[in-house]
Amino acid sequence: MGLSENQLQELKQIFDSSVRPVILFDDDPDGLASFLLIYKHIREGKGIPVKNAPELGPELAQKVNDYAPDIVIIVDVPIINQEFIDKIKTRVVWIDHHPVVKRHGVEYYNPRIAEPEDNRPTSYWVYKALKENLWIAMIGMIGDWFFPEQEVIDEFIAEYPDLLSSDIKRPEIALHNSRLGELIKIISFNLKGKTSEVIKSIKVFTRIKDPYEILEQKTSGGRFIYKKYNRLKDTYYELIKQVKVKPQDKLVLFVYENPDYSFSAEISNELIYKYPDKIILVAWEYGGEYKCSLRSTKLSLPLIIEKALEGVTGYGGGHDHASGACVKINDFKQFIENIRKLI
């Protein structure tokens, strides 16, 4: 199920016929990969990373219109205001895999319309439509905790045998036990920090032609990307070192403060890989809230999060084994207590 063969062909036609798109994308590996796949196909246009989707406002609509695009393509962004869509003066196409949202004035492609449980990532569908640059699609898919079908894996391994070993079958293993996983970490570190910095990295990415430019620092672009990763790596491993795991405790709870960057997704990915029997909760204090990243190999996290949020100011959700939540500072203790009771 998911997107039909017809829909994939429609997408291909849309990409083929555009010469000046604006592409808005979520600032994670899946969003970036989706953008890159489209941009590299069209070879023209403007990419804009979206940090906080609910805040897509009139200034951004103005910025988009000023560029005078022939189409606006939105990828991997879970929510868009109707007002934003209304202000855009051209055709809008939105490709996403988060829970279905009803909007008008937009051509909406979401696998969950046909099958509510189908959350295969955006980069997967864009790849299925274009069948180009599989290595970029793999960054998005594995980065989004999705392991594609064997056929796709075989094709990837045939081309890049040293990036992923054929006995790996789970995303959390691929993330930590392969060069592809390292590449994904390099890329997500490049999406952290000031917007101006992130935009620089993205510009460089659009010119990268193969993964070894980055992994082996073969070109100046590859070296630029690798350098940013190297700068943040020390901070990241300092944080990882501070994590304390109690053998008798089912929950690994790690709370940290860092003024510049959030590493929650990467830390929780690393912890679930090291402690597959535990439930992982990594929380970053930012702007009066705790932004939480949860991992478990066994439990269905969205259900637990939903229950733990009862009587708590916050929101959350995600995949069964990889989820997120955002909780007001004063309610955090209650939230953790609820989680403990539920597991």
Per rule CB under 5 A, is residue 144 in the interface with Mn ion?
yes
Dihedral sign for Cα 191, 271, 169, 96, please.
negative
CA–CA gap between residue 162 and residue 318 (Å, rounded)? 31
CA–CA gap between residue 95 and residue 25 (Å, rounded)? 10
- Judge whether 327 and 264 are in contact, CB under 8 Å: no
Stretch that binds Mn ion, among 5-13, 23-31, 101-109, 332-340 (CB under 5 A): 23-31
Residue number closest to Mn ion, CB atom: 30
Nearest to 327 by CA among 342, 306, 341: 306
Per rule CB under 5 A, is residue 30 in the interface with Mn ion?
yes
Per rule CB under 5 A, is residue 121 in the interface with Mn ion?
yes
Beta carbon nearer to Mn ion, 76 or 266:
76
The one-letter code for the residue type at 327 is: V
List the x/- string, 60-89, binding to Mn ion by CB under 5 A.
Answer: ----------------x-------------
The sheet with strand 314-318 has its strands ordered as: 251-256, 279-286, 289-295, 322-328, 314-318
Per rule CB under 5 A, is residue 27 in the interface with Mn ion?
no
Size of the site for Mn ion (CB under 5 A): 4
Beta carbon nearer to Mn ion, 72 or 139:
139
Instruction: List CB contacts of 180: < 8 A, sequence separation 6 or more.
Output: 138, 139, 142, 160, 163, 164, 174, 211
Per rule CB under 5 A, is residue 96 in the interface with Mn ion?
no
Phi, then psi, of 322 in degrees rounded to 5 = -145, 110
Beta carbon nearer to Mn ion, 8 or 308:
8
Stretch that binds Mn ion, among 101-109, 119-127, 157-165, 211-219 (CB under 5 A): 119-127
CB of 263 to Mn ion, least distance (A): 19
Residues that bind Mn ion (CB under 5 A): 30, 76, 121, 144
